[in-house]
Amino acid sequence: MSNGIEPTQTTVEPSVDAPKTPAMGEEVVIRLDNVNKWFGHFHVLKDINLDVRRGERVVVCGPSGSGKSTVIRCINRLEEHQQGDIIVNGVTLTNDVKAIEAIRKDVGMVFQSFNLFPHLTVLENLILGPIWVNKTPRKEAVDTAMYYLERVKIPEQASKYPGQLSGGQQQRVAIARSLCMKPSIMLFDEPTSALDPEMIKEVLDVMVELAQEGMTMICVTHEMGFARSVADTVVFMADGQIVEKNSPKELFANPQEERTRQFLSQIIQH
């Protein structure tokens, strides 16, 4: 306890002090069972075991290059793992194209670099998936899109092109684009790392709200304020392994591993 670290001086605190209202369920929606992955000869993921329950909010942190992105990209098969099992919503990820498409439909993903489609307007970005993947009637898709644009507080930008928006607005559109697919799970890969400090908060606010509604989320992020206020579980990764996993309170106050301690002191100092 003596050298416990209180992560209070993080750069950005979400404005909403999130009461962790909806309790997570018992049902495991994502299971990684002894997952191993190599890039050529490089062993990037080593025996990853992780269960995520419905409604659970998991924050993954760790030094750069530790395999955080690779883990979550394996969950929707943007990367292929070579050993072990990944089971999402009861479906085991194999090379079965249908299973992969079904999982991708139900798992939203937000990238560090937004990856909006620059040739489509904001609205068109939002309705592309619903129309072509879910076969939603256009009018319904537009209604849903406008609903989520309201939710991320930029309905007035609907007819603009992504290049005309600020980074924070683009990332909020990207979140809305994922939500329009009505996913049950959301993956975030450092959603605020490419943003100027003054825009980080507007994106975190949206994520906090989502968390409060009980969305199952896995977020790779170094926003420790966010982790502390909304996460149920914080996973610390280093060198392709899960070093430590605990509730944010425990992990921050009482890290069990030396590596965790080092890492936390580094990111919390500045």
Ligand X SMILES: Nc1ncnc2c1ncn2[C@@H]1O[C@H](COP(=O)(O)OP(=O)(O)O)[C@@H](O)[C@H]1O
Among 9, 27, 34, 39, binds ligand X (CB under 6 A): 39
For the bound state, the minimum distance from the C-beta of residue 227 to ligand X, rounded and expressed in Å, comes to 16
Binding of residue 221 to ligand X (CB under 6 A): no
Return the HEC string of 148-200. HHHHCCCHHHCCCCHHHCCHHHHHHHHHHHHHCCCCCEEEEECCCCCCCHHHH
For the bound state, the minimum distance from the C-beta of residue 190 to other proteins, rounded and expressed in Å, comes to 13
Binding of residue 143 to other proteins (CB under 8 A): no
* From the list ligand X, Mg ion, other proteins, none, partner contacted by residue 157 (C-beta under 5 to 8 A by kind): none
Binding of residue 10 to other proteins (CB under 8 A): no
Measured in degrees and rounded to the nearest 5, phi and psi for residue 183 equal -75, 160
For the bound state, the minimum distance from the C-beta of residue 124 to other proteins, rounded and expressed in Å, comes to 10
Binding of residue 225 to other proteins (CB under 8 A): no
For the bound state, the minimum distance from the C-beta of residue 190 to ligand X, rounded and expressed in Å, comes to 7
Strand order in the sheet with 28-39: 42-53, 28-39, 83-88, 91-92
Radius of gyration of the chain (CA): 18
* From the list Mg ion, ligand X, other proteins, none, partner contacted by residue 64 (C-beta under 5 to 8 A by kind): ligand X
Q: Among all residues, whose Cβ is closest to ligand X?
A: 69
Integer Cα distance of 81 and 77 in angstroms: 8
Q: Are strands 216-220 and 57-61 parallel, antiparallel or unpaired?
A: parallel
Binding of residue 119 to other proteins (CB under 8 A): yes
Q: Output the CA torsion sign for 29, 32, 38, 42.
A: positive
Strand order in the sheet with 57-61: 107-110, 185-189, 216-220, 57-61, 233-238, 241-246
Binding of residue 197 to other proteins (CB under 8 A): no
Binding of residue 191 to ligand X (CB under 6 A): no
| 187 and 103 Cβ atoms separated by less than 8 Å | no
Binding of residue 70 to ligand X (CB under 6 A): yes
Binding of residue 181 to other proteins (CB under 8 A): yes
Residues that bind Mg ion (CB under 5 A): 69
Q: Output the CA torsion sign for 193, 194, 198, 199.
A: negative
Q: Output the CA torsion sign for 170, 134, 93, 56.
A: positive
Binding of residue 38 to other proteins (CB under 8 A): no
N-term to C-term CA, the chain:
22
Among 52, 55, 69, 173, binds ligand X (CB under 6 A): 69
Chain residues in the site for ligand X (CB under 6 A): 39, 42, 44, 62, 64-70
Residue numbers at the binding site for other proteins (CB under 8 A): 76, 78, 101, 104-105, 107-109, 111, 113, 115-119, 121, 128-129, 131-141, 161-164, 174, 177-178, 181
